Amino acid sequence: MEALWFALCALVAALYVAFDGFDLGAGALHRFVAKSDGERRQVLSAIGPFWDGNEVWLLVFGGTLFLAFPQVLAVGLSGFYLAIFLVAWTLIGRGLSIELRSHLGDPMWRGFWDTAFVLTSALTPVLFGAALGNLLRGVPIDEDGWFALSFFESFSPTGELGLLDWYTVLAGVFALAAVAHHGALFLAWKTDGAVRERSVRWAARLLPALVALWLAATIATNVIAPGVFEGLRARPLAWMTSVVAFGGLALSVFARRSGADRTAFLGSFAFLLGMLAATAASVYPTMIRGLPDDAGSLTAHNAAASGGALTAALWWWPVGAALVAVYYTVLFRYHRGRRTAD
């Protein structure tokens, strides 16, 4: 039962990245693919029906952790206290930027909020990527099962630890490149005219950086957390989902070059899901890796709720999943087609 709920938590986290990732990426590219006010409205119109609902996946992830692994949620919220507040401010800033830019027609006012939208959209995936880097690297959990990290210390993953070091920053920059590429492909699918053409070009520009950062992050992870790759080699699900990630990225490239915009976006979607699923399968059952050794780690076995609670909650999971599937089906069908600069 613990393994099933670990998989459900990983699935929800991956779906959040894949869904909210495209509007975060579109926001980070907002001022680069859209030059005029009309074109920027076009970008906002493309993500407008989706971005607020996509962020609900983050609440679902927190609720699932609270239900299945309450100790993981409690320790994570305490240890990443500063980082969580930064994430909250970036998410609030994105919402404010979208809502406030149209309150006045003054170009300086709109330019300020457009820039704020770009910055907050770019910082959010960087912070989430750094958080994942912290979980893979490990955190100093004490004998009572808690940890606390300052913003940065030695800037080395093997020295005195902080939230930021060269490894977690690398993970954050890789996350930004991945969602920016994802967002560019979404805009290529959902817009027309000059915005679409620029989005296609940005997707092509971001691809080499994405591949290089993926390779660098993979090598760094093998050095910092070799246990991840031991799990990858030993578990069929891990390498099968790795194949999905590679195949999804390849599909996005070939489809983009052939002008199949929706297929390219779906390939990027598969890349993000496959990459995160492979990571989760490789680290199972560890949820928060403890340092200096793995003995203090929080796992799906020692941090799970009671078996009765997990079994009872499982009856409600298919109902919620069905509602979400219907919601997104209706949403994408109702808002099908491209958004124009009008």
Q: What is the pLDDT of residues 252-272, one digit of tens each?
A: 999 999 999 999 999 999 999
Q: Is the pLDDT assigned to residue 203 strictly greater than 80?
A: yes
Q: Which H/E stretch holds residue 64?
A: helix 51-68
Q: Rounded distance, CA 236 to CA 39, Å?
A: 46
- Give pLDDT, residue 160: 82
Confidence of residue 186 (pLDDT cuts 50, 70, 90): very high
For residue 64, pLDDT over 80 is answered with yes
pLDDT digits (tens, 9 = 90+) for 110-123: 999 999 999 999 99
Q: Give pLDDT, residue 93.
A: 92
Rounded CA-CA distance 251/267 in Å is 5
Distance in angstroms (rounded) separating the CA atoms of residues 149 and 76: 11
Q: What is the pLDDT of residue 119?
A: 96
- Is pLDDT above 90 for 179? yes
Q: Looking at the predicted structure, is the pLDDT value of residue 52 above 80?
A: yes
What pLDDT score was predicted for residue 293? 77
Mean pLDDT of 318-327: 87
What distance in Å separates the CA atoms of residue 124 and residue 120, rounded to the nearest whole number? 6
Predicted model pTM? 0.94
Amino acid at 52: D
Query: Taking residues 65-78, what's their average pLDDT?
Result: 91
| pLDDT greater than 80 at residue 242 | yes
- Give me the percent of the chain exceeding a pLDDT of 70: 100
What ranges in 142-192 are assigned the alpha helix state H? 166-190
Using the predicted structure, report yes or no on whether residue 196 has a pLDDT greater than 70.
yes
Average of pLDDT values for 285-302?
Answer: 87
Q: Residue 11: what are its φ and ψ, rounded to 5°?
A: -65, -45
pLDDT over threshold 80, residue 191:
yes
In DSSP terms, which residues pair with 164 in a beta bridge? 152
Give the whole-angstrom CA distance, residue 236 versus residue 203. 31
* Cβ partners under 8 Å of residue 341, min gap 6: 36, 38, 39, 41, 42, 193, 194, 195
Mean pLDDT estimate for the chain: 91
Q: What is the per-residue pLDDT for 342?
A: 65
Return the higher-pLDDT residue of 307 and 18.
18
125 preceded by a cis bond (ω within 30 of 0):
no
Name the DSSP letter for residue 164: B
Whether 337 has a pLDDT exceeding 90, the answer reads no
